[in-house]
Each structure stands twice: as C-alpha cells, then as structure tokens.
Structure 1
Amino acid sequence: MKAVVIHKEHDLRIEERSVGEPGPGEVRIRLKAGGICGSDLHYYHHAGFGTVRVREPMILGHEASGEIAAIGEGVTHLTVGQRVAINPSRPGGDCEFMREGERQHAMDMRFNGSAMRFPHVQGLFREEIVVEAEQAVPVAADTPFEEAACCEPLAVCLHAIMQAGSLVGKRVLVTGTGTIGCLTILAARFAGATEIVATDISDSALEIAKAVGADKAFNTAKEPDALTPYAEAKGTFHAAFECSGNGAVMAGLLNVVRPRGTIVAVGLGKEVSLPISAIVTKEIVLRGTFRFDAEFEWAAKLIAERRIDVRPLLTAQIPMERAVEAFELASDRTKSMKVHLVF
C-alpha cells in the first residue's frame, strides 16, 4: 500500500506502508481523493508551523474520501462499496470538554495528519486505511470523490458560521478568499446572509469568491481604501469572518463592523494589537473558531445534496505518484484553489 510521506521540508516521498484488516467497530477504506490544505503545505515547505514540527516520517492529509473495502465485526450501518468522507477528528477520553459536548476541545485528541502529538498521528494520503467506523461518513452514491473530500474544510467553515449566531438577513464580510474563505462565503449564504462582501489580494481568488456567492469583491492590494465606505455610521457589517490570518486585517475589521456585531477569527496568523476602546464602545463580540464536531456530518449531507456546491473551488485532480507536482501547484494561489490527489 503506497502513501504520501513527509520527512522534512521539501522531502515528500511515495513509500510503502502496511494496512491490516479492520477489527471490531472498524472499517477499511480504499481512498479515492485527498485535498491538499494549508497545513499540508506548511509541513511540505517548512516541516511544520509554530512549535509543531515533523519529528518522524508522517503520512500527510486530513481531507479525504473513498469507498468501504472491508467491514469489521459489529459494524452494521455501512456496506462494502459505499462512498464515504473520512472524518479525521478522533476526540477521546473523559475530560470536562467531552462531557459537556465540546468534543473539538477534547484533552485527548487524535487528528489525522498532525504532528502535534508524538508519535505523530498518521494522515490519510494513502491507498487504503483502517479507521473507526464512526469516522466513515456516508455520502450519496453519485457524489464525486473530490467533492466528498471537501467535507472536512466545509465542516470547519460551518463551525465558524455557528460562532456568529443567526445570519438571516445580515450583511457579512469575509476577508481572505482561499479555500476556507470561499467555503465560508458558501456557508454564510446558505445560513441566510443577504449581502456578502469579500476581500483578498489575489484577483483569481476573488473571481472564485464571486462565483460562489460574494456580492462584491475587492482586491485590497489595488484598492486599499475599498472598505472605507463601510466604516461610515459606526460600521456596516453584522458579522465579519477573518480568514486570511493577517493581523492587520483583523484590527481593521473593528472599523467596519457595526455596534454589537461579531468578528470571527478563522485564519491563524501572527499576533496583533487590537484597539480595546473600539471593542468596548461598539460592544463588539470577538470570537475564535476551532475545527468542528457535528458539522462534519452536516457538511457531508450538504455536499452530497449539492445544497452547497463546492465545484467552483476544484482546481485539479493529480495522481498520488505526482504528489510533489500537486503540492507545488497547490502552493501557487494564482493557479489553484483546491488541488486533490487521486488514489
């Protein structure tokens, strides 16, 4: 069984790995598509991010789909040949967060394709894998595998949308229109937003943002004052989703969010100083958002039924044997939005 394995920065190899038979409560999945995400690119280019470093060879990938190849004892809700998206999140243990239903904050979290723990939690970019049956989330029999592999990032964005409360009839700003930003636009529109404005510094990314539902899209590198009119009368937007990870962008949102509006920090970036006076006097709510839980199954249903259509984001599907080529393409924002490996 072949897998895509990172050893150090720019040292990505196709290697043989073993795969066993599923035990009780497990299934073996034959992988079909795996989406390359920002954290995969950090491992590829920098062998990690922040304090998280690759300390042993690690199979990359946490956005994937495939079909059931074998079923272990006690699994009755899945069948061989069934198409599934793979949920990479495996919260466990008996901590306070698990008991209170905040599973994404579990003290004992295993997340596929992550070097946060040691030994690392191996990822999904491989031909076959044995997982817990609950990680295999069914999609419709005719759902394209590359669309099903978008369940994980869409789940992230659905969770982010939940942090802002109801968006029905609301005006929304999304800053940063990479994959997460564009999926946030799709999720916000699905959640009832009536006006969505998007910003980025890439024209190609902004074109996709408009294709998925942004009413207006501004290149703030070319139009640095594009959002100035939205700061009038104490601000325009009921909710803003900061997806770029740019601290300066985050600080600027305080001017364009209306009193009692909500800013949701989606992207990770450098530290930034925020003007507390604006937060206090405008009663702005500032919230983080981290991963997902129940939203993964919602994402699978919405994608399978095309109630959220991810097709405009799909750039290319490249065989796993050409993984380096795929990672290089995924690294170029002018040429790609979402690149998938196919197995």
Structure 2
Amino acid sequence: MAPRRVRRAGPQRPRPRVRAPRARRVPAVALHQLPERRSAGHGPRQRLPGAGVSAAAPRAGGRVVELVAERSLDVVEREVPEPGPGEARVRIRAVGICGTDVHGYLGRSDRLPMTLGHDAVGIVDALGADADAEHGTADDVTPAVTVGDRVTIDPTVRCGVCGSCRAGLPQVCSGGGYLGMTATGTMADYLTVPVGNLVPVADGVSDVAATVLEPIAVALHLLDRVGAFSPPARIAHVIGGGPLGVLLGQTLGVFGWAVTVHEPQAYRRIVAASAGLSVAEPGQVTPDSAPVLIVETSATAPGVQLARTLATPGSTIGLVGRAPADFTSAEILLKELSVLGVRAGVGQYPAAIDLVARGLVTPLITVSHEFALDAASEAFAAVTDPAREVMRAVLLAEPTPERSTEGNTP
C-alpha cells in the first residue's frame, strides 16, 4: 500500500499570516451537552484492575515492527501469542505514530529491540481464561468485551498490587509500564494485553480517529490533576501545536477554557486554528498579571523556557512532555507556582471516546498521512523529515471501508 497524504477540510495554501487573536471559548451550548463526570466530573470512567489482578507482559505476534537501533526498524514475523488468564488477544487494525514513538526512534528508547506504538484500535480476537471476570460490568465501569468487539487499548500497564495501584495511581505503578516504551507496543498484527486495558470503541468513531485518543485522555487526566489549582479566569496556554497540543487544547476548550496554542511551525498553527483554537508564534503573546494554566507538550527546552516566560505569579503548570529542561525551585517559590506532572490518561479512555463520538473533539484533523504497517520505516522517515510537514501518521494493518465514515478518504 502506497503512502497517502490525507487532505481534509480546512485552510489550504496559500497560508495566511498567523496572528494571536483573543483566546476563544467553546459556545455555551456545547458545555451544557457535556457528559457528567464522576468524582472530578468528566464522564464515564474505566474500571482498572485492582489488587490480585495479574497478567503476563504484553506479547506481539504476526508482523511486528521492531526498533533495533536509532533510526532503524525491522518488520519481523513472530508467532501469534495465545492470551493467558485475564488477557485478551487483539488483532490490530491501525496504529498512530505518536511523538513518544518518534523520540524512541531518534535514540531516546530505554531498551532495544523494542516494539513501538501505544495508540491503536483493533478487534478482540481471543479471550483467555477468566477474562470476563477480570473486566467487570458494573454501571460505572467499562462494559465487558467479547470476541469480535472493536476496542482501543489503554497503554498503561499496572500490577494492581503495589502501593501506587492500591492508592488509585496506576500510572506510576512501580511494577508496571507503558506500551511502546517500557512494554511491548502495538505496532504488530496481534497483541495480548490484560482485558482490563481494553475499551470498546463507539460505532461513530472511525479506526483512524481511535488512534488519536491518547491526547484527549491526557487532557482529561490533566483536568483532574488541576482541580483546586485551576486559575479563576480559566485561561490556558498550550505550548506545542502537535496532535497532543491541538487535541489537548480542544478538549480544554470543550470544558470552558480559553485556549491559545503556541507553536513555531506554520502548518501546525493552521491545524490548531482549524480546530477552533487561538494560535500564536512563540514570544508573540505578552502575559498579563493574572494567573493562568500553562501546559507544556513540546518536550523541548525552548518550550520549557516559554512556559517560564508565560508563568505569571500564582499560575499552574502542567508538564505533559518530558523535556531536557526544568524550572528552578526559586521561581516556583517566589512566583508561588503549582507544577503538576501529568503522566498518561489512564482510566479516561471511555470519556475520550464519548467526546469524539459526540463531535466535541475532532482527532481526525490531526491525521495527515497514512502508511501500510509494512512501510513503517518509510513512515518514520517521513515523520522525522521537517520538509514533509507530517502532522500525524497512521500505520494501517487492516485497511477497512469503515474509515471513510468520518471523511478519512482523500
């Protein structure tokens, strides 16, 4: 399958001069239609495996994309794994290439060889023993999955028994991991995972859209983390206009935040503007004295420096990207800043799917290129080539007509 550039409705060349308009808010009608959140209040939550839940490490089979060295990928054939107790085997249909995958490809992977990928959609192919019992069917949890269900995979792997898991913080599980980073990822034909990590995908959400759910889940986790630290005016500055920054900003907008996305690359600013967000080049906005929310998604030193510049006294900073820079304790103290780490979006995928199914967040606007799974090397080469202007690429293991239901056909 030859790679395709996906063209979507929105601004086209010639590119307009980008200004920094006043931050825009989502119309009030959208806010009234939001799903009611439990506890922190953002929508349906997924049940996470608790104490006593155990499963083998995720295992990939069929065609498997392995990172074997910096900028070097192999597509190898592996035996299709059988799901163990409490596990499901998923036949992968599509996988998104995330910024985290790119960082690993460029040399930041902690282990080699590594199967990359964590943003995926697929079909439940087989269930291990006791899989239904592990998943649960209470009113406030994800419905039990069955063979043939279309699902996405919450990529946070947790043991269920450590102190963090018992405290409801599986994203920092001492014995867990993350698909595609510290555990086998989703760039394969088949993957076995604990059944509690599976989340059914609504019919109104296409395969390609379901490969860009993580940024929305992260945004919902961010909102939970901000909580009492929320600035009164609900003004947010998102640093980085990649898929994570754009969809995180769009999700914040749905919940009433006035969002400006700061991004140096013009084509990304155009995508952010098409998502209904205010945009600015770095350094274009001069902050006033009111406290704001700043979300650093770029994972770059200049991004952290911009966050420091925008951080007015009393502001809250959410760190989503792992940047090679930091804030000083002096500025945190003297400005009385609140700095929050936001790691993954565990448990937030049902609510993310709901927002997409209702058209409140539109992940497809970030997908610019599609490649076959076998063309993973070509895909990563394109993603890392600035001249190609790849916003987000998707690897298709099983091209299906359902993808065209949200305008995904060029």
- Within the alignment, does 1:32 sit opposite 2:93 as a pair? yes
Counterpart code for 1:198: V
Query: 1:148, 1:304 within 8 Å by CA — same for their partners in 2?
Result: no
Which secondary structure state, in structure 2, belongs to the residue aligned with residue 340 of structure 1?
strand
Cross-structure match for 1:101: 168
Structure 2 counterpart of 1:189, one-letter code = G
Match of 1:64 among 120, 142, 147: 120
Matches of 1:40 and 1:248, distance apart in 2? 21
Map Cα deviations across residues 200-231 of structure 1 (whole Å, 9 max, x no partner).
Answer: 1100111111122312x1223xxx4x122x23
Does residue 332 (structure 1) correspond to residue 393 (structure 2)? The answer is no
The answer for unaligned runs of 5 or more in structure 2 is 1-61, 133-143, 398-410
In the other structure, the counterpart of 1:314 is: 367
SS of equivalent to 1:92 = coil
Kept in 2: contact 1:63–1:153 (CA 8 A): no
Displacement, 1:301?
A: 2.7
Residue from 256, 269, 272 that aligns with 1:192: 256
Deviations 1:112-164 (A, max 9, x none): 222x4xxxx22111111222211211011342111112222322232223332
> Partner of 1:238 in structure 2?
292
Query: More deviation in 206-215 or 295-304?
Result: 295-304
The residue identity in structure 2 corresponding to 1:11 is S
**Using a 3 Å threshold, how does the CA distance of structure 1 residues 157 and 320 change in structure 2: closer, same or farther?**
same
Q: Is the 8 A contact 1:139 1:148 kept in 2?
A: yes
How far the C-alpha of 1:103 sits from its partner, in A, is 1.1
Compared CA separation, residues 237 and 250, structure 1 to 2 (3 A): farther
Separation in structure 1 between the aligned mates of residue 171 and residue 213 of structure 2, nearest angstrom: 16
Choose the corresponding residue for 2:285, options 227, 232, 253. Answer: 227
**In structure 2, what is the equivalent of residue 140 of structure 1?**
202
Matches within 5 A, 1:1-343: 1-46=62-107, 48-49=108-109, 52-54=110-112, 57-76=113-132, 77-114=144-181, 116=182, 121-165=183-227, 166=230, 170-193=234-257, 195-215=258-278, 217-220=279-282, 224=283, 226-228=284-286, 230-231=287-288, 234=289, 236=290, 238-272=292-326, 274=328, 276=330, 278-333=331-386, 335-343=389-397
Label 1:40 to 1:249 Cα distance change in 2 as closer, same or farther (>3 A): closer
Report if aligned partners of 1:173, 1:240 keep a CA contact under 8 Å in 2.
Answer: yes
* Amino-acid identity (%): 28
Q: Which consecutive residues of structure 1, in runs of 5 or more, have no partner in the other structure?
A: none
In 1, Cα distance between equivalents of 2:334 and 2:178: 40
Q: Is the 8 A contact 1:87 1:296 kept in 2?
A: yes
Residues in 1 aligned to 2:297 and 2:386: alpha-carbon distance in whole angstroms: 15
Q: Which has the bigger relative contact order, CA under 8 A and spacing at least 6?
A: 2
1:33-89, Cα deviation, whole Å (9 max, x unpaired): 10111222222232x35xx242xx222111111112223333442223211001121
Mean alpha-carbon deviation: is it higher for 146-155 or for 123-132? 146-155
Corresponding pairs, count: 322
More strand by share: 1
Residue 325 of structure 1 aligns to which amino acid in structure 2?
Answer: E
* Structure 1 pair 322–257 and aligned structure 2 pair: CA distance change class (3 A): same
What is the rounded CA distance, in whole Å, between the counterparts of 2:332 and 2:66 in structure 1?
A: 45
In terms of mean alpha carbon deviation, does 238-247 or 198-207 score higher?
Answer: 238-247
| SS of equivalent residue, structure 2 residue 393 | strand
Q: How far apart, CA to CA, are the structure 2 residues paired with 1:168 and 1:261?
A: 10
1:273-308 per-residue CA deviation (whole Å, 9 max, x = no partner) reads 5372x5444422122211232223322332333332
Q: CA deviation at 1:100?
A: 1.1
- Specify the alignment match of 2:48 in structure 1: none
When residues 305 and 96 of structure 1 are mapped into structure 2, their CA distance, relative to the original with a 3 A threshold, is same
